[in-house]
Amino acid sequence: MRSGDVAVTGLGLVTPAGIGTEETWARVCAGESTARNDPLLAGLPVDISCRVPDSPQAPLLPPRRARRMDRFVQFAVVAAAEAVRDAGLDPLTWDGARVGVVLGCADGGPATAEQEHRVLLEEGPGRVSSLLLPMHLPNMVAGQVSIELAATGPSLVVATACASGASAIAVARDLLLLDRCDVVVTGGAEAMVTPLVMAGFAQMGVLSRRSTDPVTACRPFDATRDGFVAGEGAGLLVLERGADARARGARVRARISGAGASADAHHVTAPDAEGRGAEAALRAALTEAGVGADEIDHVNAHGTATPMNDLVESRMLRRVLGPDPLVTSTKGVTGHLFGAAGGIETAFAVLAVEQGLVPPTANLDETDPEIEVDVARKATPRRVDHAVSMSLGFGGQNAAVLVSRA
């Protein structure tokens, strides 16, 4: 490892594709869509979502604990526990003051807010839960994970819309390289699939309307794509300085070798038509890593399956990286995970590098002829020395995370 490299020593995933990294990765590599008609969205213009599997028989957390946490926090707590176990670390023995938690989240707990607003209107203010704010506020995802892990170092939430998880990873990397922490648990968590939020997205015209065939609704880079399917979940990584990880004999799954961020300064929702902001973030990540554009083997694209995003992003990737990287969008399986997307998709990039396997783009039947990159249609064995995960958010906030072989 080069001096300054940051090691990924643990992964934790809670996604619509499964609870845990192994289950999620298997379904992503199989290209199995998780989109279904959602009873909680019945009667709305769009009633499709990608939900984390959960039931009374297999709850994420014991009911008593779960009642005190919104779903986005539950997802993060479960993913954090897996990531720390995977890293071979023990919160009972580490120096908590040197452990940070930096998570991305776009919206906090809208389900809790919507539920308690109904209580306010129907039963009065005296019936509103005292847990409303501790459950709803976005910062509580980092607060609760810090409590669970006895991590008393920096505890932060980064909010850059759909780039939040990736932005959090970049901040976590900086904390390690500045010697503010020795371990940082980072990534993103989100649970925005609520009637109010989905009604808003539907009004914007960004959701797929394929309600009669939800499994095939999210079609990144496909000629017939018509929008994304909303999802929920969490993807967390444990990061350490490479020298520290080696000194304790840890397994290093991959390295976060660079990160870049930028703003389009263009429009509140639409990307810059030339992708100049996304390009700036990508070039910054390449420069920080000391990696040439021609060395990138794989890109986990933002790839939302909206007509404009996929076209702008693909042209930018071709312009910067050329024709060789194998590009995929895993949103065809998981749906769009908003603030969690960057954490989950960086974890997928780590797995692609570690295992030499590029996952497919689900539901890609006919690539849009205007798409200018090589999009993976099936799981493809390939040596991946360097991979990029791209995340682009409303407000024109962009993030790129560069993952390299250990």
Please state, in angstroms and rounded to a whole number, the distance separating the CA atoms of residues 373 and 317.
Answer: 7
Cα–Cα distance for residue pair 233/370, rounded to 1 Å: 32
Q: CA-to-CA distance for 313 and 305, rounded, in angstroms?
A: 11
Q: What is the dihedral of CA 171, 172, 176, 179, to 10 degrees?
A: 60
Query: Helix or strand or coil: residue 311?
Result: helix
- Interatomic CA distance for residues 292 and 277, integer angstroms: 19
Alpha helices in 205-328 (DSSP H): 242-247, 276-289, 307-321
d(CA 342, CA 162): 7
User: End-to-end distance of the chain based on CA atoms, in angstroms?
Assistant: 7
Q: How far apart are CA 360 and CA 379, in angstroms?
A: 5
Active site (catalytic) residues: 162, 302, 336
CA 326 to chain centre: 20
* HSE (side-chain half, CA atoms, 13 Å) at 297: 20
Please name which of 248, 273, 252, 272 lies closest in space to residue 262, comparing C-alpha atoms. 272
